[in-house]
Amino acid sequence: MGGTAEPCIVVRDLTMAFGSFILQRDLNFTVDRGDIFIIMGGSGCGKSTLLRHLIGLQTPAKGDVLYGDVNFWGLDPEERERFMRRFGILYQSGALWSSMTLAENVALPLEEYTDLDPAGIRDRVSLKLALVGLAGFEEYYPSEISGGMKKRAALARAMALDPDILFFDEPSAGLDPISARLLDNLILELRDSLGATVVVVTHELASIFAIGNNSVFLDPDRRTMIASGDPKMLRDGCPDPTVRNFLTRGEAGSAG
Amino acid sequence: MERNDPQFTAERDGALLRIGLSGEWKTGHPLPTAAALEHSLASGAGIARINFDTSGLAGWDSGLLTFLLQLCERCSAAGVAVERDGLPPGVRRLLNLAAAVPERKGARRESQREPFLARVGAAAVRARMSNRDTFTFIGEVAVAVFRMFRGKARFRRSDLLETIQECGAKALPIVSLISLLVGLILAFVGAIQLKMFGAQIYVADLVGIAMVREMAAIMTGIIVTGRTGASFAAKLGTMQVNEEIDALKTMGFSPIEFLVLPRMVALFLMMPLLCLYADLMGVLGGMIVGVTMLDLGVVQYFLQTKAAVKLDNLWIGLFSSAVFGVLVALAGCLRGIQCGRSASAVGEATTSAVVTGIVSIIVATAVITVICNVLGI
């Protein structure tokens, strides 16, 4: 994996803060094209906040986020908005628009940003919903389907515009092991077939090892990243005991 | 005291204090506190260690654990060793568990009282920030309206139609009831006074002008604040909690255009219609009193009203109600979009939307009245 390493996202000296409270400082890492990149760390370390910085919902206190050679936070708001259409984002709660049916949810970005005719849009919507195993659920409202189905429908929406980069915020939170596994497989499948780059925020070890080939580990106490690289290698050979402990559910114990 | 109430005894044996626990140490029984052992544990008392005898213990739950934790704390403060061997194994394990993770430094919230000036300063800064947010919001809405007139604003027509139905047609029953009653009340109050001069017929003037010029607009404004403004805030607040607004933003949809604009346009269009309807219902209310209590004729009442109410009054009423519509929509949407990310924040947003809505309606009425006075309308 990652044979032709072409940087897709570069984070440089990023500091995240709420007012005067610094959440994480001096983050530096690179996500290569085609990576499945895991942002991990204990609860409350700022994983989801880091994601919000990457997708344009929260401004960094310091530092840059580069997509290819585009300085994301250096763009003016309108250009940034346009740039953000290349992202597909799966939110923790799914975040489907509750007043619209699944079909309308998936169709909205298509209606807005493509010049497809209604029939073309309908076909695309059916395709995307079929890809996530929800064929036939077009006319359901988000409140009428289960949590796992909401996640998948939200994924269909995230893929509506065939994005280059997919972001997942805790995709397996609240899912049973089988659904979580299916979602993992879906993520791998999407990366391989679409050639997309995937960034996943999670602390599910099973998912981390099943799909991740690169990662960054944030530490809430030291308030910065303390490791990066392939999660399997970190588990076996990271010099930092906190990281090893995390990746072995504490079984590395006090060995460090 | 019942036989099974929890109690403890303290027996001294040289430097050892033996604590005997007996009875049912469960929540719901009168639980003793460790404070009674204070002086026996004081550093001068010569106790070096304590142990426990639980042969009389009939049952326990967290009540016993809190007692023991207090006791352990006092002991460690006084340098007394605690021998836990006498305790039931379950209690020992839970005590170990409670002590397993040390309290994180700085995690405990200090509830220290800030000095008065600091609090005033913090409040002033907060007020300034909140004003800035409000003005930013109003500015963004103004830009969105401008874009709408140029045909560039993006929102779903179906959203607009749904909101129009929700805040227009569906509000008719309550508007009917309230404005009919307001008309009745005005007529009653007026009738009693006017009857003294034999001028009952002027009840028509009183009700007509009051309803058409002010009351219908104000009453529909307040109804719509409670009904629609609150629902806007709750809906947008919940969308904020569910990250739906984030999803809009990251897909390049402006929440202002997509969510606020259709709601504002809907209320701007519907409020004058509701107000016109309330005018009619109010006059009808007055007429009911006039006809049944004051022996006025229906036609007589109608003609008197028609003569009294000038077209200017109607325009002022309709203009006010359109302004109120915009204000209520702005208040509801602003509070919804500012909403925090929890269920209680949605409740606060709704309350705040209604308060803001009603205050702005009253202030706007005052301003419009002064302006009309100056213009001599």
The ipTM value here is 0.83
Contact (Cβ atoms closer than 8 angstroms) between residue B51 and residue B16 = yes
Which residues 57-96 of B have a C-beta within 8 angstroms of A?
Answer: none
Structural fold of domain B7-100: Transcription Regulator spoIIAA (3.30.750)
CB-based contact (8 Å) between B128 and chain A? no
Q: Flag if B252 and A82 touch (Cβ within 8 Å).
A: yes
> From residue A44, how far is each of A24, B71, B131 by CA, in Å?
11, 34, 31
Residue-by-residue pLDDT tens, chain B, 377 positions: 456 788 888 888 888 888 888 888 888 888 888 777 777 777 667 788 888 888 888 888 888 888 888 888 888 888 888 888 888 888 888 888 888 777 776 667 766 778 899 999 999 999 998 899 999 999 999 999 999 999 888 888 888 999 999 999 999 999 999 999 999 999 999 999 998 998 889 999 999 999 999 999 999 999 999 999 999 999 999 999 999 999 998 888 889 999 999 999 999 999 999 999 999 999 999 999 999 998 899 999 999 999 999 999 999 999 999 999 999 999 999 999 999 888 899 999 999 999 999 999 999 999 999 999 999 88
Q: Flag if B252 and A56 touch (Cβ within 8 Å).
A: no
Q: The sheet that has B81-82: what strands, in order across it? A: B7-13, B16-25, B49-60, B81-82
Give B294→chain A minimum CA distance, Å. Answer: 52
CA distance A19 to A59: 11
End-to-end Cα, chain B, rounded Å: 82
Q: The sheet that has A62-67: what strands, in order across it? A: A21-32, A7-18, A62-67, A70-71
CATH code for the part of the protein at A36-49+85-245: 3.40.50.300
Where along chain B do its domains lie?
7-100, 129-375
By C-alpha distance, which of A36, A51, A143, A131 is closest to A91? A51
- pTM (two decimals): 0.80
Largest Cα span, chain A: 62
What are φ and ψ of residue B261, in 5° steps? -60, -50
Give A3→chain B minimum CA distance, Å. Answer: 31
Q: Flag if A96 and B154 touch (Cβ within 8 Å).
A: no
Q: Tokens 């409040």 correspond to what residue?
A: B123
CA distance A97 to A175: 20
Give A4→chain B minimum CA distance, Å. Answer: 29
Coil, strand, or helix at residue B58?
A: strand
Of A57, A96, A108, the CB nearest to B249: A57
Give Cβ neighbours of residue B18 (< 8 Å, ≥ 6 apart). B10, B11, B12, B50, B51, B52, B53
Contacts of A93 in chain B (CB under 8 A): 242-243
Give Cβ neighbours of residue B25 (< 8 Å, ≥ 6 apart). B6, B31, B57, B59, B60, B61, B63, B64, B67
Largest Cα span, chain B: 107
Taking one residue from A and the other from B, the number of pairs with CB-CB distance under 8 angstroms is 51
Of A94, A99, A109, the CB nearest to B251: A109
Of A84, A93, A109, the CB nearest to B243: A93
**Beta strands A70-71; A62-67: pairing state:** antiparallel
Contacts of A157 in chain B (CB under 8 A): 247
Of B162, B244, B250, the CB nearest to A56: B250
Beta strands in chain A (DSSP E): 7-18, 21-32, 36-41, 62-67, 70-71, 87-90, 165-169, 197-201, 214-219, 224-228
